[in-house]
Amino acid sequence: MSDRVIAAFSEDPGLLVRAASTALLADAARQIHGCSPTATAALGRALTAAVLMGTLLKGNQTVLLQWRGAGPLGPVVAEGKADLAVRGYVSNPAADVPSRGGKIDVGAGVGTRGNLVVVKDFGLKDPYVSTVPLQTGEMGDDLAYYLLTSEQLPSAVGLGVHVAPDHAVNAAGGILVEALPDAHPRDLDRVAENLIALRSVTEILGRGGVEALVARALEGVRFQTQDLGVPRFHCTCGPDRLDATLVALGPREAENLLATTGEIRVRCAFCAAEWRKRSMGGEWERKDEG
């Protein structure tokens, strides 16, 4: 089953719904970063959240989500764009925590002390930055709290990643439901009840795909769907960004690195690619890791 993103529109205005299946995306990230099961589940959720948030953007706008908790995983970061391209990383991908109730304990891995930082770049002079305290570390709850407090949008977010015994991802995805100002209270109550009754996002995705997830969330509400495309892991690191990094570092420091080691090495946190330059006027060479 391929990854997909769809939008759902209620016939009565007021509900903005996005849903995604992201198993292939999450598993690609797992392999790139060599993630433990806990790190895989956390990164998969973060990337899914970035996909869903990215559908609300236009053009080259980006959204960066940073769960900066005190758990063993360290910061979990994901960046999304309007074209469904995302990238992300876990600071400590080897960190793992015991399961709880037979499920991966993402909350313990992320931690409940810390903040969710959201950075939206609309192409203006300065990006929009908002910081809210983590609520549960389960990530979906944290994102819903951000949307309510920072954007004044009552929302429900469901995220899930199922990791198989061999550590591969066999189901992943999520749903984002936002209540706009003209939403009918009747529809809001129905959707709230439906989402509370959802026991497992990944179980529904595994059985019926992303359409089944939307149907369960909007049961009792008349709606139509639209396919938005396929999400993918894509990193934007490259020579131009690396040269900008050297400018920020300063020519003297760069020359000292070259004199000491014979080359400048940079490793991208998002995609684990290693870049190197053997002279200030030389080309960047790329070596993929993971």
CATH (domain of 85): 3.55.30.10
- Residue 107 and residue 148 in one domain: yes
Structural domain range at position 270:
239-287
Residue 51 has pLDDT above 80, yes or no: yes
Which is more confidently placed, 184 or 101?
101
Give the number of domains in the chain: 2
Do residues 141 and 122 both lie within one domain?
A: yes
Query: Among 215, 233, 251, which residue terminates a domain?
Result: 233
Residue 9's Cβ-count burial label (10 Å; 0-12, 13-18, 19+) is middle
Q: How confident is the model at residue 84 (pLDDT cuts 50, 70, 90)?
A: very high
Residue bearing the bigger pLDDT, 230 or 13: 230
Rounded Cα distance, 4 and 97, in Å:
30
Residue 229 to residues 41, 105, 121, 205, 288, Cα–Cα distance (Å) = 23, 30, 22, 17, 27
> Residue 83's pLDDT is what?
96
* 252, 226: one domain: no
| Distance, first Cα to last Cα, the chain | 24
The domain boundary, picked from 214, 233, 252, lies at 233
Average pLDDT over residues 98-126: 93
The region of weakest confidence among 48-62, 158-172, 255-269 is 255-269
CATH assignment of the domain containing 262: 3.90.1280
In the prediction, which pLDDT does 1 show?
64
Assess whether 135 and 257 both reside in one domain: no
* Length of the chain in terms of residues written: 290
Contact 158, 144 (CB under 8 A): no
Whether residue 218 is found in the same domain as residue 248: no
Q: What is the mean pLDDT of residues 119-133?
A: 93
Question: Do 167 and 224 fall within a single domain?
Answer: yes
Q: How confident is the model at residue 290 (pLDDT cuts 50, 70, 90)?
A: very low
Domain boundary among the residues 206, 233, 260 is at 233
For 57-75, the pLDDT digits (tens) are 999 999 999 999 999 999 9
Question: 282 and 264 in one domain?
Answer: yes
Residue 12, pLDDT score:
76
